[in-house]
Amino acid sequence: MPDLIQNTELPITYNNLLQDIRSILEKGLTKAYKAVDNIKVQTYWQVGERIVRDEIKYQRADYGQQVVKQLAVDLEIH
């Protein structure tokens, strides 16, 4: 794809602007990925905690394994 503006037409400070904007975008994306990862961890912890509460409530042998397998099928998790 051709450049819309020839580099010779831009002020020298443009490269500094470009680097700063790239840095801002990279830092923002990194923060967003970390936030999403944190939410995913919290969500999976809550799911696990909920399963354990149910398992403790019914106190059946191998109940947890059966429930996890069935949940995976019902929730279409592979």
Q: Which residues of 22-44 are buried (b: 16+ CB within 10 A; e: fewer)?
A: eeeeeeeeeeeeeeeeeeeeeee
The CA-CA-CA angle for residues 38, 40, 41, to 5°, reads: 65
Q: Give the pLDDT confidence of 3-42 residue by residue, as tens digits.
A: 566 656 778 899 999 999 999 999 999 999 999 999 999 9
Per-residue pLDDT, 43: 96
Instruction: Report the first-to-last Cα separation within the chain, whole angstroms.
Output: 41
Per-residue pLDDT, 4: 64
Per-residue pLDDT, 26: 98
Per-residue pLDDT, 52: 84
Q: Would you say 52 and 64 are in contact if contact means Cβ atoms under 8 Å apart?
A: yes
Q: pTM for this structure? A: 0.62
Q: How far apart are CA 63 and CA 47, in angstroms?
A: 16
Res 65 pLDDT > 90: no
